[in-house]
């Protein structure tokens, strides 16, 4: 019995018996290995992501614009009306004699609408009130070209055509001579007008009647020449008018004598052998009442007779002469053969 018990104790124990109290180790989770993405697939995924982001931004912008429109139309309607009333109150005023018209949003809505680009488009009205100021403006030939002055117009009463009012060569020569007599050496028409006007902007200092007469005549002559096609009238100097006037005068003199060859005649050329106007010619020696034997021609605009060679206006009622350049009045003395200046006040009363 004793031997059997000892043998039982000598038996080796199994490992399972020793580790039976220990817990078995946990199993590790194994994930399946994924396939690597190709470069083309990555590019497509990135492009798709950007496209989605761009579409989302557009959608947000669209919603934001709609909310802004609703905000202006519904929520801030009272604020807009209040701002409009304030602007109208501030705009209805007069500054320096100019009436300032206030902005009216309601009237603008009645007259037109704003398109998608923000441009104001007016409604077409059949019975629209015409602008009297625009209707009063006439077409100016100086902006329509030289041919507009020669175009024929239809007479509304008779239905006949009437030709444009072109100046003759004699009229052009007279007007250029008149301008040359008013201008000073090296002076243009614009400078002459400024000189004649002087300080007339001051209400206390007004132009005299003589100066105003010369001013108006110079303006009329320049405008007539512009309508006739001479567009550099206001910028040409006295020497140009002097030379051209002499050319027209030589041509007119040749026509009167019947010895001129118009084809070979250079009216604007410098003729050194041309005779100069005689200094002995006096206005009184050729004037007898209203019968004029010299180059004095009646000027309808001023009511006086004008000599293009002498540059004097003559009043047959008083016998006085007005020098076009200075605007001073003179009386011609038969005994001394000289001009004597007349006080402007006396000349004005006599005229």
Q: What is the pLDDT along the chain (351 residues), one digit of tens a residue?
A: 555 555 555 555 555 555 556 677 777 767 666 555 566 777 788 888 888 888 888 888 888 888 777 766 655 555 555 555 545 455 566 767 777 776 666 777 777 877 888 787 877 665 555 555 555 555 444 444 444 444 444 444 444 444 446 888 888 888 999 999 999 988 999 888 888 887 555 655 677 888 888 889 999 999 999 998 888 888 899 998 988 888 888 777 777 765 444 444 444 444 444 444 333 434 443 333 333 445 777 777 777 887 777 777 878 778 788 877 777 888 877 778 777 888 754 444 444
90: Cα separation from own chain's centroid: 29
Q: 250 and 174 in one domain?
A: yes
Strand pairing class (161-162; 287-288): unpaired
Q: 252 and 173 in one domain?
A: yes
Nearest Cα neighbor of 178 from 312, 280, 271, 282 is 312
How many other C-beta atoms lie within 10 A of the C-beta of residue 253? 13
Query: Any residues with CB less than 8 A from the CB of 235 and at least 6 apart, and which?
Result: 188, 189, 190
Residue 336 lies in a domain: yes
What is the per-residue pLDDT for 98?
74
Residue 333 lies in a domain: yes
Q: 325 and 247 in one domain?
A: no
Q: In terms of DSSP H, where are the helices of 208-273?
A: 209-227, 238-257
Query: How many domains, in total, are found in the chain?
Result: 2
What is the per-residue pLDDT for 159?
45
CB 198 within 8 Å of CB 205: yes
Residue 117 lies in a domain: no
Residue 31 lies in a domain: no
CB 325 within 8 Å of CB 311: yes
Q: Which of 257, 291, 321 is the last residue of a domain?
A: 257
Q: 188 and 224 in one domain?
A: yes
CB 296 within 8 Å of CB 305: yes
Q: 253 and 191 in one domain?
A: yes
Q: Which of 239, 257, 275 is the last residue of a domain?
A: 257
Residue 98 lies in a domain: no
Pair of tokens at residue 138: 């006439």
What is the per-residue pLDDT for 292?
43
Q: 250 and 326 in one domain?
A: no
Sequential DSSP letters for 154-185: E-TTT--EE---PPPHHHHHHHHHHHHHHSPT
Strand pairing class (329-333; 338-342): antiparallel
Residue 181 lies in a domain: yes
CB 251 within 8 Å of CB 267: yes
Cα angle 346-349-351, degrees, rounded to a multiple of 5: 105
Q: 252 and 174 in one domain?
A: yes
CA distance 58 to 48: 15
E strand or H helix at 322, and its extent? strand 320-323
**For 43-79, b where at least 16 C-beta lie within 10 A, e where not — what string?**
eeeeeeeeeeeeeeeeeeeeeeeeeeeeeeeeeeeee
What is the per-residue pLDDT for 165?
64
**Domain with 194 in it:** 169-257
Q: Which of 196, 222, 257 is the last residue of a domain?
A: 257
Q: 245 and 173 in one domain?
A: yes
Query: Any residues with CB less than 8 A from the CB of 29 and at least 6 apart, and which?
Result: none
Q: In terms of DSSP H, where are the helices of the chain?
A: 2-10, 15-18, 39-70, 77-91, 105-111, 132-136, 141-144, 146-150, 169-182, 189-197, 209-227, 238-257, 344-350
Q: 175 and 244 in one domain?
A: yes
What is the per-residue pLDDT for 344?
52
Query: Any residues with CB less than 8 A from the CB of 340 and at least 6 apart, and which?
Result: 330, 331, 332, 333
Cα angle 137-99-97, degrees, rounded to a multiple of 5: 90
């Amino acid at each position: 019995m004793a031997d059997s018990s000892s043998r039982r104790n000598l038996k080796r124990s199994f490992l399972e018996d020793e580790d039976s109290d220990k817990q078995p180790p946990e199993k590790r989770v194994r994930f399946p290995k994924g396939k690597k993405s190709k470069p083309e697939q990555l590019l497509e995924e990135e492009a798709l992501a950007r496209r989605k982001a761009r579409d989302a931004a557009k959608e947000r912008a669209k919603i934001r614009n709609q909310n802004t429109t609703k905000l202006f139309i519904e929520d801030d309607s009272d604020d807009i009306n209040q701002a409009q009333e304030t602007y109208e109150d501030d705009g209805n005023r007069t500054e320096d004699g100019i009436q300032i018209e206030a902005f009216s949003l309601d009237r603008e809505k009645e007259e037109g609408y704003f398109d998608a680009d923000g441009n104001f488009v007016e409604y077409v009205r059949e019975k629209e009130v015409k602008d009297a100021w625009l209707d009063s403006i006439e077409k100016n030939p100086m902006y329509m070209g030289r041919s507009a002055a020669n175009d024929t117009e239809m007479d509304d009463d008779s239905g006949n055509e009437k030709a444009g009012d072109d100046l003759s060569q004699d009229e052009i020569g007279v007007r250029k001579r008149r301008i040359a007599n008013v201008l000073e050496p090296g002076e243009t028409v614009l400078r002459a007008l400024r000189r004649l006007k002087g300080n007339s902007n001051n209400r206390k200092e007004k132009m005299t009647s003589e100066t105003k007469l010369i001013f108006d005549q110079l303006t009329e002559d320049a405008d007539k020449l512009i309508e006739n096609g001479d567009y550099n009238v206001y910028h040409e100097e006295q020497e140009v008018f002097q030379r051209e006037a002499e050319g027209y005068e030589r041509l007119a003199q040749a026509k009167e004598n019947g010895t001129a060859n118009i084809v070979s005649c250079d009216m604007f050329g410098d003729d050194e052998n041309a005779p100069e106007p005689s200094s002995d010619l006096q206005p009184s020696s050729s004037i007898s009442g209203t019968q004029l034997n010299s180059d004095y021609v009646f000027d309808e605009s001023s009511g006086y007779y004008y000599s293009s060679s002498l540059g004097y206006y003559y009043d047959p009622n008083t016998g006085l002469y007005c020098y076009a350049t200075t605007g001073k009045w003179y009386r011609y003395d038969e005994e001394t053969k000289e001009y004597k200046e007349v006080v402007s006040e006396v000349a004005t009363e006599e005229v």
